[in-house]
Amino acid sequence: MTANQTTRCLHRILILPLVLVVFIPTSCAPRQQIPATPVPSAPAAASPVPSAPTAAPSPPTEAMPVHPGTIAFAIVAPGYLDDIYLIETDGTGLTRLTETNTSAESPDWSPDGTRIAYMVCPQGPHESNRQYDVWAMNAHGSEQKQLTHGPLGGAYPAWSPDGTQIAYSTWFYPPAEYGPAQIYVMNADGSNPRRVTDGSANDLFPTWAPDGTILFLRREGYYGGSRGDVFATNPDGTGLVRLTTMEHVGDFALSPDGTTLAIHDTQNHNIVLLPADGGGSPITLVNKDFGYDFVQISWSPDGKALALTRQDLMEMVGYDLHIVNADGSGLANVPNAKAVVDGAWRPE
């Protein structure tokens, strides 16, 4: 991903805490293929949008957001069946792009806005093994194609600034058989995958900086934990550097100009801004308790606003899509966007 989510699916990470033993796998499930054919867009009336649970906390909001743009996101339907949608920030143009009957999440736009990379779980939602793979499609849902193959899987894709490469995390749960998640890079057509990181922790949510370095979240413990920090590396794995020392970064997004990190602080339950080199003190952007421990962040292409989505990992549901100005003002819901996760702002 360029300056987006990193949450992307979790962008966002769809892993239950280890106490939910029902998801601890014992065997691999057969993978079903999703036809790489165009998926006709359906109006909102034809594909009802699941309603967010009313019991979830929701921060106060102001008027409808006025910052224009298009957001790609996943809707979490009942039964943990996700698909990719588009919507305008004024709440119009809700369009469904995928129809997987499993889980399609964590969209990321190519730099020219013509393609979307995303991740798909080929298994059913209740299979013991959960392996994702990276797919890509045209911006209107056509030419869907699987890009990663093999036992390691692929998740949280992110396009390079020149559009020729895609960074991603390996994703196979639990990691005992293949080790922790690592960052890989492949060509945009899925060829020539090569490993970038090789650590003992889970390396997730890769994001390309304008200078071609890759930022990622290094998370100790299980995939869905809330303790982590932002690191950066060259695409060949050299020059590894730690950018934050908070130890409680839940998600992050790099501003389009590469100067600022927006971070979900899981300890203080807010969104803060930091210089991209990790120096300086955090500046609070949104001092609201969104509820739960997972918030995904995506900058607008001009760096003047951010899209925020959030998720309850226990209930496997998403909530309203929020837009906030980069100075912290104007926090507002996007109409008609419910049960949303993994928001990604389309490049100009």
**pLDDT, position 80:** 61
Cα torsion 162, 296, 174, 118: sign: negative
Nearest C-alpha neighbor of 152 from the set 169, 140, 127 = 169
**pLDDT, position 224:** 56
Residue whose structure tokens are 């109409």? 335
Residue whose structure tokens are 């899509």? 321
Cα–Cα dist 33/51, whole Å: 29
The stretch 248-264 carries a mean pLDDT of 95
Cα–Cα dist 339/309, whole Å: 9
**pLDDT, tens only, 116-143:** 999 998 655 445 556 889 999 999 999 9
**pLDDT, position 16:** 30
Percent of the chain topping pLDDT 70: 71
The stretch 151-155 carries a mean pLDDT of 89
Q: What is the CATH code for 21-345?
A: 2.120.10.30
- What six digits make up the tokens of 241? 């550097």
